[in-house]
A and B are shown apart, each in its own frame.
Chain A
Amino acid sequence: MLIVIGIPIAIIAVIALIVLAPGWTRAGRYRPGDSWDHEPVLIGGGGSKAVPALDGAQQPAQLTAGSSDAGTGDDTVGGISVRW
């Protein structure tokens, strides 16, 4: 009885544990489509650091928003905007 039922159940339990365990350890992982409710993070060569406050007075007024995969067209800065 133990061999016929116990061993298969034990094998199934071990396999289930192997499959599900990585998911448990990554419970906080971002999944596309989820909302993002974490605090903003700024990471540089020295690790994470405080995110600078951005009020209206600090925002450079002369900079305009890019909106596509193309360049920004701004003379002072480069870079791109992408959505995935």
Chain B
Amino acid sequence: MLDGNSDAIDGVWNDQDPFSSAQISNLASTIRSAEQVAKVQFETFVGRLPEDRKTALALHGQLVHADDSVLVAVDPHSRGLEIVVGAKAKQSIDDRTCQLAALAMTSRFVVGDLINGLRDGIAVMADHAHPNHVLHRDLPENA
């Protein structure tokens, strides 16, 4: 599912930033791989969610391709995790898959490992996605 050692990607840390550039780069790489497999867009948000799911829904609504997007929003302060799946993305990522991903993520979050929790969760969603395969791409010549 995932490779790499979490300690090896910690990189240089700036106390002002929650994550190192190496961690962000690694997560972005995981997201790109997941997007290719699941055929949906993944976005991760880490910050305060004042109104929990309502805030996450509003953030998801601001995404460029909201219908095709999955937003994983984490509030480390209130220990909340919100997964919002767009209307079209729901065909690939169902709620059961979200629950599996949430389990993978929270098992990391409880020990303070946010970035690898996000990586694991997105990888789980990609593994369990059901991308819509196009079976008939060629139109009849005289159609």
Please tell me if A8 contacts chain B, counting CB pairs below 8 Å. Answer: no
Q: B72-98: contact bitstring with A at CB < 8 Å (1 yes, 0 no)?
A: 000111111111111101100111001
How many chain A residues sit at the interface, stated as a range, is: 35 or more
- Would you list which residues of chain B between 20 and 67 have a CB under 8 Å from chain A? 24-25, 27-28, 31-32, 35, 41-48, 51-55, 57-63
- Give the shortest distance, in Å, between A76 (CB) and chain B (any CB): 5
- Give the shortest distance, in Å, between B39 (CB) and chain A (any CB): 13
Find A38's partner among B17, B81, B93 (CB 8 Å cutoff).
Answer: B17
- Give the shortest distance, in Å, between B8 (CB) and chain A (any CB): 12
Interface of B, secondary structure class, is: mixed
Asked whether A28 lies within 8 Å of B13 as measured between CB atoms, the reply is: yes
- Going nearest first, the 3 A-B pairs with the smallest beta carbon separation are A40-B47, A78-B85, A52-B62
